[in-house]
Amino acid sequence: MPEGHSVHRVALQLGADFVGRRVAASSPQGRFAAGAALLDGLEMSEAFAVGKHLLVGFGSAERDEARWLRVHLGLYGAWDFHGRVSPIGAEALGVGSIGAPRVRRAVRIGEVERALDDGAFPPEPVGQVRLRLLTEESVADLRGPSRCEVIDWGGVEALLAKAGPDPRAPFWADPEGEFVRRLRARRVAVGQLLMDQSVVSGIGNIYRAEMLFRARLDPFTPGAAVPAELARELWRDWERLLDVGVATGVMLTRDDVPAEQALADRSVRWAVYGRAGEPCYRCGTRVALADMAGRKLFWCPGCQV
DNA sequence: TGGAAATGTCTAG
DNA sequence: TAGACCTTTCCAC
């Protein structure tokens, strides 16, 4: 169940182990049989993420000649990788140590990565696998996506045209300025605008709550009332949090908790998300919970003003 | 074993 | 704004 960081990690994983290779595509579940047939046997040319959209090119290095797999994981979609799973993230970003290449048998890219099995290669599909991508060494299984389709480059461009800026996607000349303009052009609550994928790409319910807490910003403040400098700080914070999320695979948002502790213990990972009724770490006020546009909003009424 | 919830988005009314 | 959709996990019974 991903926010933007997970999708970038999937793109990196595909880039490391699938791009440049011929891929056997199938739909063990059957619901994507026709789409898989369009990709089966083609070489994967490219994989990238824009916000929560994953885009994977097949068949040609020319973008407007390739077939593009578009996947959106929705609330509970996930990719499982088996076989050769190259290290990505901290190593790929050049932060942290670069260790010897490791081979992990199976990794799920979602909230937390973990080993899934120890069996033979390729493993039997487990559960509802919508799409399986297979090379001689690696398997990627997709389950539970809300969107999975094959489109052309025109379709990709249409998605890009609608999307708000993503700090890690190179499609905006001035992404920070674009974000500030889009946020401050609206009277809608900033808590709602941060989750609006046409304002900024990749932020979901957890990052939304945590970013507003970090900025000490009342979620109900209209976008137009957010000072420009504070809007710029929000953007820069999103850049940092996304980099950390891509590097670790986990949404680490608390500067006051050591990363190792937050990685190991979910209960101390977030400042306000999922902590309704508990005291705020900063001021002791009980964390509040409200419905905002149909999603649960967590915030501290004591220090987010 | 059944129901609710989940890091999301779309559509109908 | 409510409901639909896609699937898994977790907790109460």
CATH 1.10.8.50 in chain A, residue ranges: 165-299
- What pLDDT does residue A109 have? 54
- What pLDDT does residue A260 have? 86
The answer to whether A114 CB is within 7 Å of strand C is no
User: Cβ(A152)–Cβ(A144) under 8 Å?
Assistant: no
Distance in Å, residue A145 CA to nucleotide B13 C1': 27
CATH 3.20.190.10 in chain A, residue ranges: 4-159
Instruction: For residue A278, give both structure tokens.
Output: 């508990």
User: Cβ(A55)–Cβ(A49) under 8 Å?
Assistant: yes
Told to judge if A2 belongs to the known catalytic residues of this protein, a careful annotator would answer yes
**Percent of chain A that is helix, strand, coil (3-state, to 5):** 30, 20, 50
Instruction: For residue A168, give both structure tokens.
Output: 């890690």
Other beta carbons less than 10 A from residue A146's beta carbon: 12
Told to judge if A296 belongs to the known catalytic residues of this protein, a careful annotator would answer no
Nucleotide nearest to A202 (CA to C1'): B7
CATH class of the region A165-299: mainly alpha
- What pLDDT does residue A120 have? 83
- What pLDDT does residue A267 have? 86
User: Cβ(A180)–Cβ(A194) under 8 Å?
Assistant: no
Told to judge if A52 belongs to the known catalytic residues of this protein, a careful annotator would answer yes
Q: Which nucleotides of C are covered by protein (CB under 7 A)?
A: 1-3, 5-8
Instruction: For residue A220, give both structure tokens.
Output: 């109900």
Distance in Å, residue A99 CA to nucleotide C5 C1': 42
Residues whose CB is less than 8 angstroms from the CB of residue A197 and which lie 6 or more positions away in sequence, other chains included: A51, A52, A163, A164
- What pLDDT does residue A10 have? 96
The answer to whether A31 CB is within 7 Å of strand C is yes
pLDDT mean by block of 10 residues, chain A; 305 residues? 91 96 97 97 98 98 98 94 87 37 41 49 92 96 95 96 96 97 96 97 97 98 98 98 94 92 88 95 96 95 96
Distance in Å, residue A111 CA to nucleotide B3 C1': 23
Spatial strand order of the sheet with A129-134 comes to: A24-26, A129-134, A138-143, A78-83, A106-109
- What pLDDT does residue A132 have? 97
Topology (CATH level 3) of domain A4-159: N-terminal domain of MutM-like DNA repair proteins (3.20.190)
Tell me which of A9, A28, A46, A52 is the catalytic residue. A52
Distance in Å, residue A111 CA to nucleotide B6 C1': 12
Told to judge if A162 belongs to the known catalytic residues of this protein, a careful annotator would answer no
In angstroms, rounded to a whole number, what is the distance separating the alpha carbons of residues A50 and A52? 6
Nucleotide nearest to A4 (CA to C1'): B7
What phi, psi does A96 have (nearest 5°)?
75, -175
The answer to whether A143 CB is within 7 Å of strand C is yes
- What pLDDT does residue A89 have? 73
